[in-house]
Structure formats: structure tokens, C-alpha cells
Amino acid sequence: MPNVMLISYTPSPEKTVASAAKLCYSSSSIGDLMDGLTDEKASSFVEMLSEIGHESPIEHASFTFGIEGVSRSFLAQITRHRIASYSVKSQRYVTEGDFEYVVPPEIAEDSEALKLYEETMSQDREVYERITEILSKKHKATFIAEGKDEKTAERLAQKKAIEDARFVLPNACETKMVVTMNARSLNNFFRHRCCNRAQWEIRDVANQMLKLVTKVAPELFKKSGPPCLYGSCPEGKMSCGKASEVKEFYGALRNNG
């Protein structure tokens, strides 16, 4: 299952945002922006930005997460959030012969489905290993013919082989990544991915991320989460219809943060 860590973040994120906002509304010099900027005043600035919809200053606060125990399917979803930086474990350079995999809860709860799922994962591992072996043997012979020594030829052949063998790996294959987003992008991410209609895996990650950033920047993320927390659901006929339960969940998430 997903595991999220907050690796680093902008020091004093709310004061950083407040100082940027202060510059927009005063003639203070850059060197004086932080003068007299107490925690209370910083919180007031952040609240004002939220009220008037002035979001650009919150882009100055960034948060870096380590995410593991997620699938390649998750990777395809999170990278749709383009105002972010991603570093992901490479299947081109990392051998996946004995890969770990994510089991969706619905499959885990059904013994027949789980048995078939695990058999398929085992077959995928075997096929990946076999293709890697076949291609490695072929590439090694080519590199040796080109004059490479055996050790070098074997290393290069392995790398070249897994570049193509990875095409048989499933979406379930476990991966890990480092992700950096600024506060404005995070709020957009939470708006879409904390919603009950988001896929279970990315919703789990979003909730963990929200809990972590709320601890270090409570004012910046005071109203973060799905739209139904502070207004009507934008999903129309597709709404989950559980707004009261959602509000209760995110109230508990913040209080237990």
C-alpha cells in the first residue's frame, strides 16, 4: 500500500508566502519584507490571499515528498499534474526480475480474483526473466564480437536487454518516486484527488500528503481537500452523494494531524 513521506519543504512556508504577498501591497524593500512579520501576521496574510483569490504568492512555498508502494498505473495518473517535478525509479536501469506489485483492495478481498491475479504476476515475472535472458545472450555475443571484454559485454548486454524486456511488465508493478509541488499546485491536486470519485490509490496518496503538509503549514492548507468541503459538489450527476461523510473525514484528518 502507498507510503508517503515529507522529505523537505520551504522553511517557514507561510512567512515566505506572506513576504511575497506583502511585496505586492507595500513599498517595502526586499530586505525589509520579513521585518515584523510574526506568525500571526503571516497567517493573516495567507487568509487574505485565500479570501481574495490571489493565489500566485503561494507558489513560493514548495514541498517535496517521497512516495513508495505505488503502481505504475498511479504514475500515469499523478504525472498528469504538470506543475510539479518528478524523479521515478527507472525500469530501464533497474532490473525488475522479482518485482513487487500492488494489489487493488477489491481483488484482495476476493479469493478467486486474488488467486488469478497472483498467478498472472508470477507469470509476468517468469516471462520478463526469460526475455531478459534471451536478449542478454544475444547482445553479449554482439558486444564481444565488437571487441568488448566479457565483463563489460555482460554488463552492457543486461542493460540493453531490460530496456525491451520491461514492455511485458504490468501496470501493477511497484514503483517509487520523489515529487515536488508548490502550494498552489498542491491545492489543485487535493481538489481533484481527495474527491471520493478519484481512483483509490491516488486518493490514498493525496490524503497522506494533505495530512503531512497540514502539520507544517496549517494556514496554507486550511481549506484544502475536495470541493464539497466548502461548497457544492461540482460532479453533478456523478457526485458520490456523501458530502457530510467527506466533511467528517477531513475534519478528523486535520484534528489528528
Tell me the catalytic residues.
193
Length of the chain: 257
How far is 232 from 229, CA to CA, in rounded Å?
8
Please provide residue 174's backbone torsions phi and psi, each rounded to the nearest 5 degrees.
Answer: -70, 140
Helices (runs of H) and strands (runs of E) counted in the chain: 9, 4
Question: Tell me, what amino acid is at 129?
Answer: E
How far is 101 from 249, CA to CA, in rounded Å?
28
Rg of the chain's alpha carbons, rounded to an integer? 24
Question: Tell me, what amino acid is at 181?
Answer: M
